Amino acid sequence: MTPGKAKAGAEVVRILGIDPGSRATGYGVIDQQGHALTFVTCGVIRTSEKQLFPERLQEIYNGICEVIAVYKPQLAGVEDIFTAINPRSALKLGHARGVLILAVRQHGLLLEEYSPRVVKQAVAGYGQASKEQVQQMVRILLRLAAEPSHDAADALAVAICRASHR
């Protein structure tokens, strides 16, 4: 997808949304100008389970650093998950979230964390919205020709949530 252009007038603020995962970390970048949101980019940082875990952490860290270096967002949002997963999954997810938060902080972005419920509320008006509803609302709100993948859509949803909570 190609970067959109925000309208002239109010200040444009660029926002990065992150949906952390040790296998797949979604990222999405949008511009906010007044109430207008414009899609900039989205994607997924994937790591292979064949790699050693420290290598995967480095790839996640390098991947998000590259996104920040290329697109230069000023604000960031990240999903905050503290429930409904077992300790082993929580620990793995924590490693990925840790290096992502470190990268965001090292680059001076203003970070906020949002629970999945708050993110869903912001994009779909309903805290229990399904993955598919979130995907569809992200497509509509950002006027995308096609629906992004789940991980990228979740990251864009976090970015939209960050924009609506400014």
Distance of CA 97 to the CA centre of its chain: 12
Give the Cα separation of 57 and 53 in Å (integer).
6
Which of positions 57-76 make contact with a copy of itself (CB under 8 A)?
Answer: 57-58, 61
Q: Is 154 a catalytic residue?
A: no
Query: Which residues inside 19-48 make contact with a copy of itself, applying CB under 8 A?
Result: none
Query: Is 19 considered catalytic here?
Result: yes
Query: How does DSSP assign 94-157, residue by residue?
Result: HHHHHHHHHHHHHTT-EEEEE-HHHHHHHHHS-TT--HHHHHHHHHHHTT-SSPPPHHHHHHHH
Nearest approach, Cβ of 27 to a copy of itself (angstroms)?
Answer: 17
List the one residue from 10, 70, 102, 140 that touches a copy of itself (CB under 8 A). Answer: 102
Catalytic residues: 19, 79, 151
Contact residues for a copy of itself, defined by CB under 8 A: 53-55, 57-58, 61, 81-99, 101-102, 104-106, 111
